[in-house]
Amino acid sequence: MPDRTVLDGLKGGLIVSCQANPDSPLRDPYIISRLALAAEKGGAVGLRVQGLEDVEAVRAVTALPIIGLTKTDRDDTEVYITPTAAEGVRLAELGAQIVALDATSRPRPEALAEMFAAIHAAGALVMGDISTLDEARAAYDQGADIVSTTLSGYTPYSRQLAGPDWELMQELHGAGLTFVAEGRLNSPADAAQSMQLGASFVVVGSAITRPDVITGWFKQALRN
Ligand SMILES: CC(=O)N[C@H](C=O)[C@@H](O)[C@H](O)[C@H](O)COP(=O)(O)O
């Protein structure tokens, strides 16, 4: 059975997402493991890591809690964050204490409740990546341990914003639901604001670990 105290250790802290897209020059498990160590040195209390190879490489160099996920493109669904229980179970076996998966209401290959049960049986907690308040409620009803605002802006029916979805955070807090703030938190001020709005902890990715993306922000600013 999963260790629920992991979530207590993350409370109020910064989780750094260490991911590189397939076309990134940083797309290498060794490089991801070094990004993870740099995040740890900077004070991250946990890491969010994509892909079996990267989870294995990061687990080998740090004892920090890992939120593991896969990104799998499938023809039969729009859902790509850990779409199957088998992937979730494998992530748990490789040392992810928490498995993140798409918990949106979109059609999916496998039922959420069954995925949650399989991942729990493998010893990991489940983070439901959601895009709306209703999806957060449904995720908790079906057994999620925590939900994250990861997918706001990435489902066609959620708010499409350039920045963080503050309104969703307010809704979650207002409904008394524990939540993680994630998605387009592109500055320390955004991270702090998320905590003000009641987040349990925050996940920051691009602004810390994607220099190609950050370079684009600066380049764009110079054009204005
Ligand atoms: C939508 C989706 O697929 N999000 C992914 C989930 O793991 C990652 O690509 C993001 O980098 C992560 O959520 C952190 O967000 P940001 O990089 O904006 O700080």
Does the CB atom of residue 154 touch ligand 1 within 6 A?
Answer: yes
Nearest to 11 by CA among 171, 183, 189, 146: 146
Instruction: Determine the Cα–Cα distance for residues 98 and 139; give it in Å rounded to an integer.
Output: 15
The best mutation among 206, 210, 212, 213 to test binding of ligand 1, ranked by most ligand atoms within 8 Å of the C-beta, falls on 206
Please name the residue whose Cα sits nearest to atom 19 of ligand 1. Answer: 205
The full set of domain ranges for the chain reads: 5-223
Q: Identify the pLDDT of residue 223.
A: 83
103 contacts 130 by C-beta, under 8 angstroms: yes
Q: Identify the pLDDT of residue 1.
A: 78
How far is the centre of ligand 1, averaged over its atoms, from the C-alpha of 150 (Å)?
A: 6
Nearest to 15 by CA among 68, 56, 77: 68
Please name the residue whose Cα sits nearest to atom 5 of ligand 1. Answer: 150
5-223 maps to CATH 1.10.10.60: no
Instruction: Determine the Cα–Cα distance for residues 158 and 41; give it in Å rounded to an integer.
Output: 35
Does the CB atom of residue 182 touch ligand 1 within 6 A?
Answer: yes
Does the CB atom of residue 204 touch ligand 1 within 6 A?
Answer: yes
Tens digit of each residue's pLDDT (9 = 90 or more) over 156-181: 999 999 999 999 999 999 999 999 99
Please name the residue whose Cα sits nearest to atom 10 of ligand 1. Answer: 205
Does the CB atom of residue 17 touch ligand 1 within 6 A?
Answer: yes
Q: Identify the pLDDT of residue 224.
A: 62
How far is the centre of ligand 1, averaged over its atoms, from the C-alpha of 205 (Å)?
A: 6
Please report the ipTM that was assigned to this predicted complex: 0.99
Instruction: Determine the Cα–Cα distance for residues 9 and 12; give it in Å rounded to an integer.
Output: 9
Q: Identify the pLDDT of residue 166.
A: 98
The best mutation among 16, 17, 129 to test binding of ligand 1, ranked by most ligand atoms within 8 Å of the C-beta, falls on 17
Q: Identify the pLDDT of residue 171.
A: 98
Tens digit of each residue's pLDDT (9 = 90 or more) over 44-69: 999 999 999 999 999 999 999 999 99
Instruction: Determine the Cα–Cα distance for residues 15 and 97; give it in Å rounded to an integer.
Output: 13
Q: Identify the pLDDT of residue 3.
A: 87
Atom of ligand 1 nearest to the CA of 210: 17
Nearest to 57 by CA among 26, 23, 24: 26
158 contacts 135 by C-beta, under 8 angstroms: no
C-alpha distances in angstroms, 192 versus 123, 130, 207? 31, 21, 14
Atom of ligand 1 nearest to the CA of 151: 1
Low-confidence residues in the chain, pLDDT < 50? none
Does the CB atom of residue 80 touch ligand 1 within 6 A?
Answer: no
Altogether, the residues listed in the chain come to a count of: 224
Does the CB atom of residue 206 touch ligand 1 within 6 A?
Answer: yes
